[in-house]
Amino acid sequence: MSDPSGRVHYDPIVVSAESAVVAEYLSESAEEAAYQSEAALERGFISLLQSQACEYLPLTSEAELIANLRVQLEALNGITFSDAEWERFFSERIAGANEGHNSARLTPGGR
């Protein structure tokens, strides 16, 4: 399906917390002949995800990303972390899982 601009559009049939089923998939087999910037690639990917009923969150900092992770994990598991529980869980299970990478920056408070 296409919208008036000619872009492919996917109509969601079923949307749940775990997945989305779309009405139609049209393979875009035409290859790009010109260079595509990272920003253009990102805009295209975001647009594709939004057309498949995904929500866009304009997170602009690491602290916002970590706060959103906490909200999503709490919603998914039907729990509420105390601040102490979140600090421990985040440092042991999430930030600690990246040992050997630049994980020193990752802290629940974004510090």
The stretch 91-97 carries a mean pLDDT of 83
Answer whether 11's CB lies under 8 Å from 24's CB: yes
What pLDDT score does 11 carry?
Answer: 66
Answer whether 110's CB lies under 8 Å from 66's CB: yes
- How high does pLDDT run on average in the chain? 79
Phi, psi of 15 (to 5 degrees): -130, 125
pLDDT in tens, 16-40: 777 777 666 665 656 666 888 999 9
Please list the residues that pair with 96 across neighbouring strands: none
pTM more than 0.75: no
Please list the residues that pair with 15 across neighbouring strands: 20
Helix, strand, or coil here: 24?
coil
Helix, strand, or coil here: 69?
helix
Residue 99's pLDDT band (cuts 50, 70, 90): low
What pLDDT score does 48 carry?
Answer: 92
Q: Decide which of 14 and 58 is more confident.
A: 58
Proportion of the chain above pLDDT 90, given as a percent:
47
Q: How far is 81 from 83, CA to CA, in rounded Å? A: 6
Tell me the chain's radius of gyration from C-alpha atoms. 19
Proportion of the chain above pLDDT 70, given as a percent:
63
